[in-house]
Each structure stands twice: as C-alpha cells, then as structure tokens.
Amino acid sequence: MLSVTRYAVRNVRLKPWVKFIWYLETKSNILLNNKLLPTDSIDIIINLSDVMEYKIENQNYNASNIHFNGIRDKHGFVIQRGNIRVMGISFYPFGLYPFLKIPISEFKGQLVDLKQVSEGFVGKLESTLNQILSIEDIVLHLEKILVSVLDENLVINKMVNLLDLFIYNNQYSTIKLFCDEMNINIKTLERACLKYTGYTPKILRKIYRFKMVSNQLIYSSKNNNFLDLIYENEYYDQAHFIKEFKQFSGVSPIKFIKENKTIKENTTYNYL
C-alpha cells in the first residue's frame, strides 16, 4: 500500500488554480505498476527518484524528471522501481494555463517535458529541489515559485467561474441548457474549454462523470447496484454505461471492481 501526503494550498492567489500539492515516498525497494485512470486534473510531476515510465495504449514512455500530464481521456499505467520519491502539483482542469501561458489544447493527452515548455519555470523548481529542505519547506517554496510565474490576467474571473460551474455543477442536463442559462454561445464555451483544458465541453463532462462513477465503484460498499449509478450519473441505460466506462477504463465495470489495480485503490492519503 502506497502512502501519499496531500498538502492544502495556503496562498489565496493559488487556490483558484491549484487543488493541492502532494508527496509520495516508499521506504523500501518496490515495483510500482498501477493503472492511471482518466482524470480532470492536470499534474506537474517532480520525480526525485529513478526513471518513471508510463504505458499508454501499449506504448511505453520514459518521462523526464519534471513533466506534466494533460487531462487524460485514456487509461494507462505508471511504472517505477526501487526507492520512490515523487512530488506533484495538482491543478484544476483550467488551472495550468495561467502558469504556462500557452493554450492547453497543444498538450492534449500528452506526457510533456516541462523544460520544453518553460525552461525558466523548471529552473526555479530545480533550484528549490537542490537545496536541503524538509518536504514541508519544499511545499512552501513550490507555492512561492507558482505565485512568481502566475499570470492571473490571462484568464478573466468570469471565464474561470464559467468553466468551474460547467465542469462541477451537475444541474444542467445538456450543454445547450447550460449555455442558455449563462447567456453565452456554445462556440464560446467550446473555445474556452479547448484553450484552458485541451478538451471539448462534451468530453470534459464525460471525463468528470467517469471520475465520479469510478470513485463510487472503488469506495462504495454497494458497488454492485449499477442501476443506481446509471440513474445518478445520467447514463441512457446499462449498455451506455458499460460502453462508456470501458472506453475510459479499458475494462467492464464488473472486471474493474475485481482488478484492484488503480493508484486510488492502492494508496492511503494523509492530509495536511
């Protein structure tokens, strides 16, 4: 069982963009080979240990020590061996754009070497990590670095609130109803979603729905009642639920329950 510590964001300027900072460390040699599910988060990964590999759609990738994962609409696997030390910064779906200052659509579904995007950003991260600091001190320094590269003027508050409401508020059954209520054109929402998250509104909704359903299957003791899941998450019927779930996870819901392969299922969390 892996143990991850999540650090709440303290700086108020970062809270609209960053969910939390996290740290994973193992005290003994292990083989980590766990499934990564599609997610609405974007993570900057800072690998302080040996090589980190990913396997996505039967392709293997060696990741750079500081890289980020775009929002994923496909499952994959993360593979590491030995004593593992990894830090991460988890951003909201629209949260990375004002730090990179590049439309996130350019990085859709990719593993990206952060140095290829922003050498200055990586230089600041590396200078902090090269100092002998406690993890808590590193977290505080990471926040200072994030504030120093943040350009809040790139995303107006109205657009942030719009995207936040669209992704996380489930009261609108269709994209058209949402746009009508917000008095915006559907094309406006599409452009904003692509620019700030890399995905269309339709796919974003599906990714978020899958995240909610997979969490219910992982953490609920009543995870055999698919009819409740279908109704609560507004799938058309059981066939629609199984097809979409398999598209994102690679397996049927029943097999998913039995697999016990995901990072979420094999991790305990500490919150600070």
pLDDT of residue 188: 93
Q: Which residue has the higher pLDDT, 88 or 158?
A: 88
Residue 172 burial class via C-beta count within 10 angstroms: exposed 0-12, middle 13-18, buried 19 and up: middle
pLDDT of residue 224: 60
For the entire predicted model, the pTM comes to 0.92
Residues linked to residue 66 through DSSP beta bridges, in sequence order: 46
pLDDT of residue 21: 97
Rg (Cα) of the chain, in Å, rounded? 19
Q: What is the band of 221 on the pLDDT scale with cuts at 50, 70, 90?
A: low
Which tens digits make up the pLDDT trace of 11-62?
A: 999 999 999 999 998 877 888 889 999 988 899 999 998 889 999 888 899 9
Residues linked to residue 24 through DSSP beta bridges, in sequence order: 4, 86
Residue 241 has pLDDT above 90, yes or no: yes
Domains of the chain: 2-153 (2.60.120.10)
Report the mean per-residue pLDDT for the chain.
89
Question: Which tokens sit at 110?
Answer: 């990719």
pLDDT of residue 47: 93
